[in-house]
């Protein structure tokens, strides 16, 4: 059985004081969760959130990681820096990083390899735009993004990685893929993994849905057999909403 992962992507929200309050409010609400609970917070919040969740079952995540160990990369953070801050998960290749900061599939792969080599768990994001879906490229695109993103990882590193299928047209728009659309696309990703790495590895990898998952639609999405959790944006910024999604996995 794959253990679901519900990860909150706070994006560029919450000062350290606000982050501490949110994390503290969330802890009692998810203390009996049957899934992995992760908070991917801004780097400025690592200390505050890390201290708040110490001793709880919530794990700390970052929203990116650089591929170099050190060097002249202003504004970036290496995997070893994140590890020393208590980070366990790192979102990589989010559509906002690809769209606004020009991250290519090749750069995403370098970041994934760096994270995995350091013992972080990458959350590799893949997904299509509305134009790409309407043109019939969804399956080919998400298969390509997935396999390129994981290139160079060992079989064990692939098993431990998390993939987040995020249709770009559903991120922050209020639009959501239907339960069946999300399940079918995640099935395409799992089938691609099976062809590349074998059925056992494919069945071990956890694949989330991301894209306006909220308390109202989480149960339907999570009931789908291929979906192993969610990468949650706006709904992760309210403790009650995020906890409601977590509780869909059971308590």
Q: Which residues are catalytic?
A: 94, 166
Contact residues for 64 (Cβ-Cβ < 8 A; gap 6+) = 76, 77, 90, 91, 92, 94, 97, 111
Please state, in angstroms and rounded to a whole number, the distance separating the CA atoms of residues 164 and 91: 9
Q: Identify the DSSP state of 34.
A: S
Q: 3-state DSSP call for residue 140?
A: helix
Please state, in angstroms and rounded to a whole number, the distance separating the CA atoms of residues 235 and 240: 9
Q: Identify the DSSP state of 5.
A: E
Stated length of the chain: 251
Q: Is the sign of the CA dihedral 237, 238, 241, 247 positive or negative?
A: positive
Q: Is the CB of residue 125 less than 8 Å from the CB of residue 91?
A: yes
Q: Identify the DSSP state of 37.
A: E
Please state, in angstroms and rounded to a whole number, the distance separating the CA atoms of residues 190 and 11: 27
Nearest to residue 233, comparing CAs of 218, 248, 220? 218
Please state, in angstroms and rounded to a whole number, the distance separating the CA atoms of residues 142 and 133: 11
């Amino acid at each position: 059985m794959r253990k679901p992962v519900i990860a909150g992507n706070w994006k560029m929200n919450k000062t350290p004081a606000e982050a501490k309050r949110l994390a503290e409010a969330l802890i009692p609400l998810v203390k009996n969760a049957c899934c992995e609970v992760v908070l991917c917070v801004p780097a400025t919040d690592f200390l505050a959130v890390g201290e708040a969740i110490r001793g709880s079952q919530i794990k700390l995540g970052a929203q990116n990681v650089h591929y170099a160990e050190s060097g002249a990369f202003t504004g970036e953070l290496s995997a070893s820096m994140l590890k020393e801050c208590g980070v366990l998960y790192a979102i990589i290749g989010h559509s906002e990083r690809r769209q606004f900061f020009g991250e290519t599939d090749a750069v995403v792969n370098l970041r994934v390899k760096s994270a995995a080599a350091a013992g972080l768990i990458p959350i590799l994001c893949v997904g299509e735009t509305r134009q790409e879906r309407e043109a019939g490229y969804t399956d080919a695109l998400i298969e390509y993004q997935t396999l390129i993103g994981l290139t160079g990882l060992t079989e064990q590193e692939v098993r431990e990685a998390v993939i987040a299928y995020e249709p770009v047209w559903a991120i922050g728009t209020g639009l959501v893929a239907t339960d069946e659309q999300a399940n079918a696309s995640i099935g395409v990703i799992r089938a691609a993994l099976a062809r590349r790495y074998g059925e056992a590895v494919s069945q071990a990898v956890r694949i989330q849905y991301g894209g306006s998952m909220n308390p109202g639609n989480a149960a339907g999405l999570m009931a789908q057999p291929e979906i192993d959790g969610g990468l949650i944006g706006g709904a992760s910024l309210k403790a009650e909403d995020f906890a409601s999604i977590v509780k869909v996995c059971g308590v």
